[in-house]
Amino acid sequence: MNPRELRKQFPILDQQVNGHPLVYLDNAASSQKPRRVIDAIVRYYEQDNANVHRGVHTLASRATDAYEGARAKVARFLNAASEREIVFTRGTTTALNIVARSYARAVLREGDEIVLTPMEHHANLIPWQQAAKATGAVLRYIPMQPDGTIRLSDVEATLTDRTKIVSVTHVSNVLGVVNPVKEIAALAHKRGAVMVVDGAQSAPHMKVDVRDLDCDFYAFSGHKMCGPTGIGALYGKLELLDRMEPVEYGGEMIEHVDYYDATWKESPWRFEGGTPIIAGAVGLAAAIDFLTEIGMEAIDRHSAELARYAYDRLSGIEGVTLYGPRERTGLVTFNLEGVHPHDVATVLDTEGVAIRAGHHCCQPLMRKLEVTATARASFYLYNTEEDVERLAAALIKAKEFFGHAIG
Amino acid sequence: MQLDELYRRVIMDHYKNPRNRGTMDEDSVTVNLNNPTCGDRIQLQLQVENGVVKLAKYTGEGCSISMSSASMMTDAVRGKTLDEALGLAEKFSAMMQGQPVEFEEYEDLEALAGVSKFPARIKCATLAWNALRKGIEAGRQG
C-alpha cells in the first residue's frame, strides 16, 4: 500500500488551502472520496437512475440491481451470513436509533439494564437514554481505566442477569482505542444480552467480520470510509431483525395494505420505508471495492502505525498533552497548554492543516478527561508521515504564536 | 488569511487580563449560555438599576475569541441603558457580518472586526453578546 499514490486518486486533496498544500486530518469526522466513487455516483445518475423495486422498465431494473448489488457487497464486506442482514440507513446514527427504538423498546422491561462505556459517542448514548426513559430500564457503565482502556474483568463485573443490551464503540473517536468487542460480546451472551457495536470508526480502518465478532448488531457510516454522505448500514442477525417492528412506515416497506391495517415485508426491506438512498448505496459499493482492492489488513496496519507515529511525534513537543494510550488506531487527540483547541485549529488552518476541535460529540468523556474541548487529528489511507510532520510544525507555530501573544 | 488579523493585540490582552471576570453578590440577572457545537460556555450577570446596567460580570470557558469578547462586552455595557446596550449588540452583529462599524464608546471592540473573515469563529465572538441579549430581555421583565 502506497499512500502517496493513493492520494493522487482523491481530487479534493490536490489543492492549496490558505496558501499551503492541504493536509486533511479530519477523517474521523468524514473522509474524502476517490475519483472512482465520485464517478460511480455520476454514472448512476447519468445512466441508470430510477426508483427501485417495483418498476417494470429497464432503468428501474438497473437501479434495483445496483441497489441490491450494493447490499450484497456490504454483506460480503462485513462477512454477514446473508444480504438480508444488511439494512441501509442514513449512517451510524440512524442505524443505532433503529436498534434503540425497535429492538430495545420491545425487549426492555422496568429495571432491565443497558450497559455502555464512558467513551460512547452521543449517537451511541442518547438513543439508549431515551429507550431507558421510555421503558424504565437503567443505564450502567463499564468503568474505564485512566488511559482510556476497558478491562474485561470490569465488563464481567458490570453485567448482570438484568442486562439486556450491551452497546460499545469498536474504536473510540476520541481516544483511538480498539475495544475488545468480540470478548465483550461473549460475556454479554453469557448473560443473555445482545451485543451492539458502534462501528463508525472501525469499518473504515480494519477488517470487520461480524460472524467472528459474534455481535448481534453492527452500525457504520459510508462517508467515513470513502463513500458518500447519507448512506450507512445496520447489520443485524436475521432472527433478530425479522422479529423487529419497523420504525418508519410508508411505501417500499409493505407487503399488503388495506384501509385499516397493513403488513410488512421481511427484513431488511421493512426498515427501508420510502425511496432509499440509491445513489448513496452505489457510491458505497464503489468505496468498498476501492478499500477491498487496497486490502483492509494493509489499511489497518497503516492507520495504527501512523497514529502511533503521531502519538510519539506530538509527545515530544513540550506543552502537548495526549489523551488515550499509545496503542491506538487512526487518530490522536490532544491539547496544547494554555491555548484553547479552537485557537489551535484556527492557527493550523492558516497553515493548510485541517483538524477538528471541540467535544467530538463525547461530552461525558470530555468531563471524565477533565477538559471542555480537545483538538483531534485523524488519519486515513492517503495520509503520510509528512502530514504528521506538517501537523507538528504547525503546532509548534501555534505554540510560539500564542506564547508570544499571551506569554 | 493572516493570523494577526484575527488575534489582534487588544484581543490577546483581554484574554490574558480579563475585565469583569467573576461573579457578584448584588441582585442581578443571571444568564447561562453555551455553544453546543464547541462546548464554550458563559455565565453572565447583569446588575440593572432603573434601566441602567450598573455592572456586568462573567465566568466561563472558551477560546481566546469568546473570552476576550466577553471581557470587552462586560466593559462596554457598564453604565449603559438597556436600549444602549442592545444597540451595541446590534452593532456588534453588524460587524460580524463584515459591515464597517465604529465603536466610539469602546474602541477595543473594533479589534474583533477581523473575526468576520473567519466564519467558523463568528459564533465564538457572539456567545457573550447573545447572553447579553437574553440578559436585557430578562432585565426588562424583572
Tell me the pLDDT tens digit for each residue of A328-373.
999 999 999 989 999 999 999 999 999 999 888 989 999 899 898 9
Q: Which residues of A touch B3 (CB under 8 A)?
A: 346-347, 350, 401
**C-alpha cell at position A193:** 444480552
Chain A residue numbers with beta carbons less than 8 Å from the beta carbon of B64 are 339-340, 343, 402, 406
ipTM: 0.87
**Within 13 A of A230's CA, how many CA atoms are on the CB side?**
11
Structural class in CATH, domain A3-27+296-406: alpha beta
Tell me the C-alpha distance between A344 and A402, whole Å: 9
Is the pLDDT at A88 greater than 90? The verdict is: yes
Q: In angstroms, what separates the C-alpha of A133 from chain B's closest C-alpha?
A: 23
A37-293 has which CATH code?
Answer: 3.40.640.10
How confident is the model over A149-160, as pLDDT tens digits?
999 999 999 999
What fold does the segment set B3-140 form as a domain? Sufe protein. Chain: A (3.90.1010)
Contact B39 A358 (CB under 8 A): yes
Q: What is the pLDDT of residues B79-101, one digit of tens each?
A: 999 999 999 999 999 999 999 99
Q: What is the pLDDT of residue A122?
A: 96
Q: What is the pLDDT of residue B142?
A: 64
A372 touches chain B (CB under 8 A): yes
CA atoms within 13 A on the CB side of A385: 6
Q: How confident is the model at residue B141 (pLDDT cuts 50, 70, 90)?
A: confident
Which among B3, B63, B118 has the least Cβ separation from residue A340? B63
Mean local confidence (pLDDT), A202-227: 98
B37 has pLDDT over 80:
no
Residue with cell 496544547: A336
CATH 3.90.1150.10 range(s) for chain A read: 3-27+296-406
Per-residue pLDDT, averaged over A138-163, amounts to 97
Instruction: Let me know: does A93 contact A123? Beta carbons within 8 Å.
Output: yes
Contact criterion met (CB < 8 Å) for A406 and B2: no
Q: Establish if B37 touches chain A: CB-CB under 8 angstroms.
A: yes
Q: Residue range A248-261: average pLDDT? A: 92
pLDDT of residue B1: 61
Looking at residue A407, its pLDDT comes to 56
CB-closest option in B2, B38, B121 to A373: B38
The DSSP output letter for A233 is E
Q: How far apart are CA A223 and CA A45, in angstroms?
A: 19
In a mutational test of the A interface, the residue from B16, B63, B67 whose CB has the highest number of chain A CBs within 10 Å is B63
Name the CA radius of gyration of chain A, rounded: 22
Whether residue A268 has a cis bond before it, omega within 30° of 0: yes
Report yes or no: A105 and A130 within 8 Å, Cβ to Cβ: no
Task: Determine the Cα–Cα distance for residues B82 and B93; give it in Å rounded to an integer.
Answer: 17
Contact of A58 with chain B, judged by CB distance below 8 Å, is answered with no
Tell me the percentage of chain A whose pLDDT exceeds 90: 93
Chain B partners within 8 Å of A349 (Cβ): 1
- Helix (H) and strand (E) counts for chain B? 5, 3
pLDDT surpassing 90 at residue B71: yes
- pLDDT score, position A38: 98
- A-chain residues within 8 Å CB-CB of B63? 340-343
- Say how far apart CA A86 and CA A107 lie, in whole Å: 21
Calculate mean pLDDT across residues A68-92.
98
Contact of A280 with A222, CB cutoff 8 Å? yes
- Give the confidence band of A406 by pLDDT, cuts at 50, 70, 90: low
Average pLDDT, stretch A133-157? 97
Q: What is the pLDDT of residue A111?
A: 98
- What DSSP element (H or E) covers A311? helix A296-315
pLDDT (average), residues A111-123:
97
Task: Give the nearest chain B residue to A352 (CA atoms).
Answer: B1
**Shortest Cα distance, chain A CAs vs residue B116, angstroms:** 13
Give the residue on B whose Cα is nearest the Cα of A397: B3
A358, B38: Cβ pair inside 8 Å? Answer: yes
**What positions of A carry a catalytic annotation?**
361
B39 touches chain A (CB under 8 A): yes
Does any CB of chain B come closer than 8 Å to the CB of residue A343? yes
Interface size A-B, in CB pairs within 8 Å, comes to 53
Q: Is B4 on the interface with A (CB under 8 A)?
A: no
Mean pLDDT of chain A: 96
Task: Encode pLDDT of A296-313 as tens digits.
Answer: 999 999 999 999 999 999
Residues A176-195 have pLDDT tens digits of 999 999 999 999 999 999 99
Q: Write down the pLDDT at residue A133.
A: 98
**pLDDT value at residue A326:** 96
Question: Mind telling me how many Å the CA of A226 is from chain B's nearest CA?
Answer: 25
User: Could you tell me if A122 lies within 8 Å of chain B, comparing CB atoms?
Assistant: no
Residue A213: pLDDT band (50, 70, 90) is very high
Residue A48 near residue A57 (C-beta atoms within 8 A)? no
